[in-house]
């Protein structure tokens, strides 16, 4: 008994869409893998792979001193460390700042795009007239 929904042509079309999607997904995964591979090569070339086991350089005296200062600051409460239990609603300033940066950039691009489009339209109208 045929329990499939729709005409055979429709089912065939749906199958073709699935195959197309999978083909495109494979291509997208390949592109992403190439980018990650190039990043790995870059890390390897700069000698900073650091993933897995390998010899580690001993920290410099300055870094150790800075670490000691940070630890003291945490103890005295100069640096506040919060437990990570999800969203910190007290730090919405952080989110608002990110939103502001994104909104400003988007507004600038949209304004430029609208001006550019208007100018092009005016040029076309002038050429026709």
Residues lying near other proteins in the complex (CB under 8 A)? 21, 24-25, 27-29, 31-32, 35-36, 39, 43, 46, 48-53, 82, 84-89, 91-95, 97-99, 101-103, 105-110, 113, 116
C-alpha span between 24 and 17 (Å, rounded): 10
Q: Is 116 helix (H, G, I), strand (E, B) or coil?
A: helix
Cβ closest to other proteins, residue 12 vs residue 104:
104
DSSP code of residue 88: -
Cβ closest to other proteins, residue 13 vs residue 95:
95
Q: Is 95 helix (H, G, I), strand (E, B) or coil?
A: helix
Please report where in the chains the tokens 């502001």 appear, as a residue: 100
Residue 86 Cβ vs other proteins, minimum distance, rounded to whole Å: 5
Cβ closest to other proteins, residue 27 vs residue 65:
27
Residue 111 Cβ vs other proteins, minimum distance, rounded to whole Å: 9
Residue 110 Cβ vs other proteins, minimum distance, rounded to whole Å: 5
Whether residue 16 contacts residue 10, with contact meaning beta carbons closer than 8 Å, is answered with no
**Nearest residue to 36 (alpha-carbon basis) of 22, 51, 21, 24:** 51
Cβ closest to other proteins, residue 1 vs residue 119:
119
CA distances (Å), 84 to each of 81, 87, 88, in order? 9, 8, 9
Residue 1 Cβ vs other proteins, minimum distance, rounded to whole Å: 27
């Amino acid at each position: 008994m045929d329990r499939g929904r729709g005409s055979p042509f429709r089912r065939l079309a749906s199958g073709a869409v699935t195959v197309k999607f999978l083909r495109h997904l494979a291509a997208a995964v390949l592109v992403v893998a190439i980018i990650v591979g190039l990043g790995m090569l870059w890390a390897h070339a700069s000698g900073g792979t650091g993933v897995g086991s390998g010899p580690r350089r001993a920290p410099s005296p300055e870094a150790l001193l800075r670490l000691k200062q940070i630890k003291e600051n945490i103890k005295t409460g100069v640096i506040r460390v919060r437990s990570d239990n999800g969203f910190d609603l007290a730090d919405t300033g952080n989110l608002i700042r990110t939103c502001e940066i994104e909104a400003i950039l988007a507004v600038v691009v949209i304004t430029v795009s609208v001006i550019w489009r208007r100018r092009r339209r005016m040029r076309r109208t002038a050429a026709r007239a």
